[in-house]
């Protein structure tokens, strides 16, 4: 008798917003220990944990709200014929699918096709060097601004943002200070995601890219 010991899941990638599928054997899990699963593109990781092999916990980083969500399921439920969804608590976007392999593969194909269609309709695929990276980069800049960590030391928080094929340009509307953020490679995206504040300085220029990264865009 052959026993299927695999958990089939799909997790929304933090880099391109598409759902990526993973098949994990429950025999890889150790009681009370997080099992790390790397994203296929290497930009993030999520974790699986169990205390008793009756319940499975998933800790998923969320590109929708920049937070982290924890989902808990009974093992017998996710090893069955049904499919379960884990949404972002803020946006309600699905970031986790777990359950029947065939159902998940069909769902992932349909949702990823919808994302491709939207990007094509908006013209992103042809304008940007890497549309997926650019969209994630813009989302990160917006998140920094929402946290009041995007401003110029001239006293203004009115910052204009313009998008180019390979970069994001931020300009202070008061003193014309300029910051350039490159967004075309995986390394560029990781740098943007690890940036927590964008502090512009009066009438000066700063740049962040994969070659020259300091963790904070601070153009002294």
What tens digit of pLDDT does each residue of 59-78 get?
Answer: 998 877 778 899 999 999 99
User: Residue 183 in contact with residue 189, Cβ under 8 Å?
Assistant: yes
Mean of the per-residue pLDDT values of the chain: 82
pLDDT tens for each residue of 77-87: 998 888 999 99
φ/ψ of 171, rounded to 5, equals -130, 130
> Sorting pLDDT into bands at 50, 70 and 90, what band is 218?
very low
β-pair type (45-49, 35-38)? antiparallel
> Sorting pLDDT into bands at 50, 70 and 90, what band is 220?
very low
User: Residue 139 in contact with residue 67, Cβ under 8 Å?
Assistant: no
> Sorting pLDDT into bands at 50, 70 and 90, what band is 161?
confident
User: Look-up: residue for tokens 């992932």?
Assistant: 108
List the chain domain ranges. 6-122, 128-218
> Sorting pLDDT into bands at 50, 70 and 90, what band is 139?
confident
Average pLDDT over residues 97-104: 91
């Amino acid at each position: 008798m052959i026993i299927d010991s695999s958990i089939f899941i799909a997790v929304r990638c933090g880099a391109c917003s598409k759902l990526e599928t993973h098949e994990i054997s429950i025999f890889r899990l150790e009681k009370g220990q997080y099992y790390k699963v790397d994203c296929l593109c290497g930009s993030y990781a999520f974790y699986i944990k169990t205390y008793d092999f009756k319940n499975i916990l998933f800790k998923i980083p969320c590109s929708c709200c920049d937070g982290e969500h924890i989902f808990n399921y009974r093992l017998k439920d996710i090893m069955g014929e049904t499919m379960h969804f884990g949404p972002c608590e803020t946006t309600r976007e699905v970031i986790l699918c777990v359950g029947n392999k065939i159902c998940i593969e069909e769902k992932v194909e349909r949702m990823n096709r919808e994302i491709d269609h939207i990007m094509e309709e908006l013209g992103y695929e042809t304008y940007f060097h890497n549309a997926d990276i650019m969209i994630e980069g813009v989302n990160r800049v917006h998140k920094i601004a929402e946290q009041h960590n995007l401003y110029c030391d001239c006293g203004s928080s009115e910052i204009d943002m313009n998008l180019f094929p390979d970069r994001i340009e931020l300009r202070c509307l008061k003193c014309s200070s300029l910051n350039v953020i490159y967004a075309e490679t995986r390394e560029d995206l990781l740098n943007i995601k690890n940036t927590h504040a964008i502090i512009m300085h009066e009438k000066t220029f700063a740049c962040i890219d994969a070659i020259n990264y300091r963790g904070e865009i601070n153009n002294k």
